Structure 1
Amino acid sequence: MIYAALILGLLGSFHCVGMCGPIAFLLPLDRTNRSRRILQLISYHGGRIFMYAILGMAFGIVGKGLNVFGIQQYLSIGVGVLMIVSILLPVTIFNRYNFSRPIYKGVSKIKSAMGAELKKKNPHTFFTLGYLNGLLPCGLVYMAIFGALATGNALQGSLYMTVFGLGTIPLMTTAIYLGNFLKGSAKQRIVKAIPIVVVIIGMLFILRGLGLGIPYISPSEMVTVQEVTAHHQCH
C-alpha cells in the first residue's frame, strides 16, 4: 500500500499548497545564496516528514495493538470505509458538528510557536517550522494517518507517512519558489481529482481486508500477531 501513500502525497499536495501555502510563502529563505536556500528547504521538508513519520509510527502502534485481537482485516476494511465516507459526506455535516473545535486551542498554540520561529531565523528555524507544520490539522494528512493505522505495524506506519510526505515535496517546493503558480481550469481539474484518488485508495484498503486472494492488492491471508507468536513457539 506504500504506492498509495505516494499517490496521495503527490496529488494531495495541491490541497496542501492551499492550506499550508501561506506558511510556505513566509519562509525566510536566503534569496542571495542558492546553496543555503536549498539546505533551508531540505531542513523545512525534513521537519515535516519527521513529524509525519512520528505520527505514522504512533498510529502504526495503535493498529498493532488492535491486531492483537485478530481484527487486522476488519481494521483495513474500516479504514477504507472511513476514507470513502469522509469524501462522500457533505461538508456541511462536518461544519455543523465542528469536529475540530476541541483542538482549536492546540492549533492556536502551534501557530503562535510558528510565528515566533519565523521571527528568530535561527539555523534550526526551518526544521522547527516543518515539524510544527506537520502538526496542523489537514484532511489529507488524516487520510494518510488512516493508512498508517491500517498497516498495523510501527515501522510500516512510519514508512507510509514518510512516503506520503515525500510525495508532497515537489509541489510544495514549487509553490515556495513561485507562489500560487497553478491557476485556472488546470488547478480545478486536479483539485477535483483528489477526492477520486482518496476513494480509490479507500477501496484498495477494503479489498486488502477482504482477502480475495489477489496478489499484492487483496492477499488471501494477513499475518496477525497471534500467528507470528504461534510460529515462533512451534520452533
Structure 2
Amino acid sequence: MLLSAFIFGLVSSLHCIGMCGPIAMMLPVDRNNPAKKVIQILLYHSGRLTAYASLGLVFGILGKGLYLAGLQQQMSIIAGILMIAIVLIPEKILARYNFSKPVYRIISKVKSSLGQQFKKKSYKALFTIGLLNGFLPCGLVYAALFGAIAMQNETLGVVYMVLYGLGTIPMMSMVVYFSNWISLPIRNKIGKVIPYVAVCIGMLFILRGLGLGIPYISPGNMSLFVRGEAHCG
C-alpha cells in the first residue's frame, strides 16, 4: 500500500503542473548557475515534503484512533471510496462545497506569505515557498491524506505522505527546467490519466478493507497493515 502512495504522487504531479506549476516556474532560482539551481530546487521540494509529512502525522494519528476503536476495515473501505469520489466528482460541484472555508483566513495568510517569499532569493525563502506550497488546498493531496488515515499509524501516515511527495518531484522539477515545453494541451492530455490511477488505488484500499483472503491485496485477518508496535494478548 505504501508503494501506491509514490505511484499516486507520480501521477498526481500531472495535475500539479496546472495547479502548482506556476509556483515552480516563478521560483527565485539562479538561472545561470546549474549546481546552485539544483540545490535551490531541492530545498523547495524539501519544504513541500516537510508540509506533507506534517499532514501525514496528523492524519496518521487520526487513523490510529480509528484503529483503536476497531474500525480498521471500515476505515480502509471509506478511504478508498473517498479517494475515488474526489477525482470523479466534477470540480464545479466540489467548488460549491469548499471544504477550505473553515480555514479560509489561514489559507489567505499562507498565500500572502507565499507571495512575500518570492521577493527573496535566499535558501530559507525557497524552503519556505515549498513549505507553504505544501499546505495549499489540493483535492489530490486530500485524497492522499485519506490513504494516510488508512495506514492506522502516525509513522506510516508520515511515510505515506512523504512517498506521495517524492512521487511529485520528477514532474515538478521538469516544470522548472522545461516550462516552455509543457504546454496546456499536453497538460490536458496527460491529466486524463489521473482518474484511472486514483480509481485503481482507491479500489486497492476497498479490497483491503473487505478482507477477501487474497494475499497481500486483501488479507482475511483484521491486521490489515504492518504495525509499528507489537500487540500482546
Same fold (TM over 0.5): yes
Q: Quick one: which amino acid aligns to residue 6 of structure 1? A: F
1:157-199 deviation line (CA, Å, top 9, x unaligned): 1111111101101100000111152336654332111011111
Task: Classify 1:161/1:229 alpha carbon distance in 2 versus 1 (closer, same or farther; 3 Å).
Answer: closer
Structure 2 residue matching 1:23: 3-state secondary structure: helix
In the alignment, what sits opposite 1:114?
Answer: 114
Aligned residue in 1 for 2:208 = 208
Q: Identity rate of aligned residues, in percent?
A: 53
AA paired with 1:12?
S
| TM-score computed with the length of structure 2 as normaliser | 0.92
The structure 1 segments of at least 4 consecutive aligned residues displaced by more than 6 Å after TM superposition are 227-230
Corresponding residue number in structure 1 for 2:80: 80
Question: Where do 1:168-183 residues align within 5 Å?
Answer: 168-183=168-183
- Whether contact under 8 Å (1:68, 1:224) holds in the other structure is no
Superposition pairs of residues 109-148 of structure 1, within 5 angstroms = 109-148=109-148
C-alpha displacement of 1:88: 3.1
Residue of structure 1 equivalent to 2:18: 18
Q: Given the superposition, is the C-alpha separation of residues 110 and 81 from structure 1 closer, same or farther in structure 2, using an over 3 Å criterion?
A: same
Confirm or deny: 8 A CA contact 1:13 1:171 kept in the other structure: yes
Distance between the aligned counterparts of 1:2 and 1:224, measured in 2? 13
Which residue of structure 1 aligns with residue 190 of structure 2? 190
In structure 1, the gaps of 5 or more residues are none
TM-superposition CA deviations, 1:81-139 (whole Å, max 9, x none): 11222233333322233333333322211111111111132231111111111000011
What is the distance in 2 between the residues matched to 1:64 and 1:32?
Answer: 48
Cα gap change, 1:78 to 1:42, in 2 (>3 Å): same
User: Per the alignment, do residues 98 and 184 of structure 1 end up closer, same or farther by CA in structure 2, a change over 3 Å counting?
Assistant: closer
Residues paired across the two proteins, number: 232
1:68, distance to aligned residue in structure 2 (A): 0.8
Q: Secondary structure at the match of 1:124?
A: helix
Counterpart of 1:47 in structure 2 is: 47
Change (3 A) 1:229 1:21: closer
Flag the 1:179–1:229 CA change in 2: closer, same or farther, 3 A. closer
Residues of 1 paired with 2:222 and 2:53: CA distance? Answer: 24
Tell me the TM-score normalized by structure 1: 0.91
Cα distance in 1 for partners of 2:228, 2:122 equals: 48
Which residue in the other structure is 2:70 paired with? 70
**Structure 1 SS opposite 2:206:** helix
Q: For structure 1, which segment, 103-112 or 143-152, has the greater mean C-alpha deviation from structure 2 after superposition?
A: 103-112
Distance 1:180 1:31 in 2: 15
Task: Give the alignment's Cα RMSD to 1 decimal.
Answer: 2.2
Measure how far apart 1:231 and its partner are.
4.5
* Paired amino acid for 1:138: C
- Which one-letter code corresponds to 1:145 in the other structure? L
Cα displacement (A) at 1:70: 0.7
C-alpha separation between the residues in 2 aligned to 1:148 and 1:41? 26
Gaps of 5+ in 2: none
